[in-house]
């Protein structure tokens, strides 16, 4: 599974980083950046949760 953040939607609220700091990093430009290309299975549930709490629906998962 890969994770993609749509920077045209992301506003840097940081909910993703609060939930899965191993995977998401909000940088100085107030955009979230995935820190790894392939998400390990053990992080799947937390990343899926991050998708649901993103207020901008900016996170997409690609299998």
Site residues for ligand SF4 per CB under 6 A: 5, 10-16, 24, 26, 32, 54-56, 58-59
Q: Which residue has the tokens 């390990």?
A: 40
- Supply the minimum distance, in Å, between the C-beta of residue 19 and ligand SF4: 8
Question: CA dihedral in degrees (4, 37, 45, 62; nearest 10)?
Answer: 50
- Supply the minimum distance, in Å, between the C-beta of residue 36 and ligand SF4: 15
Q: Identify which of residues 40 and 55 has a Cβ nearer to ligand SF4 in the complex.
A: 55
């Amino acid at each position: 599974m890969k994770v993609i953040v749509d920077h045209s939607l992301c506003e840097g609220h940081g909910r993703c980083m609060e939930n899965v700091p191993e995977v998401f990093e909000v940088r100085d430009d107030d955009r979230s950046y995935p820190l790894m290309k392939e998400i390990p299975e053990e992080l799947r549930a937390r990343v899926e949760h991050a998708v649901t709490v993103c207020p901008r629906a900016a996170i997409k998962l690609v299998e």
